[in-house]
């Protein structure tokens, strides 16, 4: 963290004697653990990705409201001296959260996680602040098509973009197949009135664990009022997880159309974010790292899910 960031944060929040240590870097943000001279710890996120900043800003009041409803097992934003949930500095979004003394892990009781997600969904009628809502469309369609089709059609002298083009050519047929499926699913969704609940979008991948039954859901970067399947599709074949969820919603049955939309939509959002990093003006080594990650993504965890939509 640059020294002036620490000085600006101290001024915005009234923290005294502030020091910092790096936290594990996230995809969306640079993260730090802050500690004041009173030994109070906080978690700091600095976000410089333009595609994410508006989504995070919109999510913060909702996250605060969930916490005020008594749901303690989350991270929540700390307000500035100006009573704001964030501030901007040098085109960066800076948000301070409560600090949770626990480690990120996948080693936990999935029944507990399922129940927690059900409890959050059940809070939906009680949250009175504006909640961004799923439109059942691909909102960044033009950006993605410019990234994908533009790269395929272009002839750049940039080594990384040349490598990206080769990778996209390798998967061009299946990407276009999935994209056509997304358009069809979106059309089908327009004729459905899905029940909507507050969703995290990637809760299972963002869990801090104090013990297998003491969990915290973090990184609420893109809260949406959406179908429950947005939070369930990754784990809906896990019996323990679904037992936990049905302890809150005993009559829940999977809406297969909503599930297909959530899988396909997520596939293209992840792809779009990878492309944004690789096509950016970031250092070449960083872009090569993201290119390697994209190659792994095509053959990785999401592949059986995206193949299942057809």
**Helices 284-299 and 256-278, packing angle to 10 deg:** 160
CB 144 within 8 A of CB 138: yes
Q: What percent of the chain has pLDDT over 70?
A: 99
Token representation of residue 270: 């992840």
Give this prediction's pTM.
Answer: 0.93
Q: Domain spans of the chain?
A: 3-136+194-248, 137-193+255-310
**Helices 159-189 and 141-153, packing angle to 10 deg:** 140
CB 213 within 8 A of CB 109: yes
Q: Write out pLDDT tens, residues 174-219.
A: 999 999 999 999 999 988 899 999 999 999 999 999 999 999 999 9
Q: Which CATH class is domain 137-193+255-310?
A: mainly alpha
What gap in Å lies between CA 199 and CA 121, rounded to an integer? 7
Give pLDDT, residue 265.
Answer: 95
- Give me the phi and psi of 214, to 5 degrees please: -115, 95
Domain 3-136+194-248 adopts which CATH fold?
Phosphorylase Kinase; domain 1 (3.30.200)
142 pLDDT band, cuts 50/70/90, is very high
Q: Write out pLDDT tens, residues 268-310.
A: 999 999 999 999 999 999 999 999 999 999 999 999 999 999 9
Give pLDDT, residue 139.
Answer: 84
What gap in Å lies between CA 129 and CA 107, rounded to an integer? 34
Chain centroid offset of residue 55 CA = 9
CB 79 within 8 A of CB 85: yes
Give pLDDT, residue 202.
Answer: 93
Give pLDDT, residue 2.
Answer: 65
Across the range 35-50, mean pLDDT stands at 94
26 pLDDT band, cuts 50/70/90, is confident
Give pLDDT, residue 1.
Answer: 60
């Amino acid at each position: 963290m640059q020294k002036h960031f620490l000085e600006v944060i101290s001024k915005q929040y009234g923290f005294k004697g502030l020091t910092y240590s790096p936290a594990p870097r996230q995809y969306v943000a640079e993260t730090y653990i802050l500690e004041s001279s009173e030994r109070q710890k906080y978690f700091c996120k600095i976000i410089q990705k333009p595609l994410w900043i508006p989504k995070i800003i919109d999510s913060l009041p909702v996250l605060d409201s969930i916490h005020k409803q008594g749901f303690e097992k989350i991270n929540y934003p700390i307000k500035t001296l100006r009573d704001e949930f964030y501030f901007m500095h040098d085109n960066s979004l800076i948000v301070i959260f409560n600090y949770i003394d626990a480690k990120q892990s996948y080693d936990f009781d999935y029944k507990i996680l399922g129940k927690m997600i059900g409890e959050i969904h059940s809070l939906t009628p009680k949250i009175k602040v504006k909640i961004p809502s799923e439109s059942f469309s691909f909102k960044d369609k033009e950006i993605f098509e410019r990234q994908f089709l533009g790269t395929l059609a272009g002839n750049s002298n940039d080594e990384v973009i040349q490598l990206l083009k080769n990778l996209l050519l390798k998967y061009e047929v299946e990407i276009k197949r999935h994209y056509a499926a997304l358009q069809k699913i979106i059309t089908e969704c327009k004729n459905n009135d899905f029940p909507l609940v507050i969703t995290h979008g990637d809760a299972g991948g963002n869990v801090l664990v104090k013990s297998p039954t003491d969990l915290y859901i973090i990184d609420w970067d893109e809260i949406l009022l959406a179908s429950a399947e947005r939070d369930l599709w990754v784990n809906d074949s896990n019996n323990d997880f679904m037992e936990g969820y049905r302890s809150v919603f005993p009559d829940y049955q999977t809406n297969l159309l909503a599930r297909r939309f959530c899988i396909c939509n997520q596939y293209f959002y992840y792809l779009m974010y990878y492309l944004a990093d690789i096509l950016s003006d970031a250092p070449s080594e960083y872009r090569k790292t993201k290119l390697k990650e994209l190659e792994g993504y095509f053959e990785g965890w999401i592949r059986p899910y995206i193949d299942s939509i057809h």
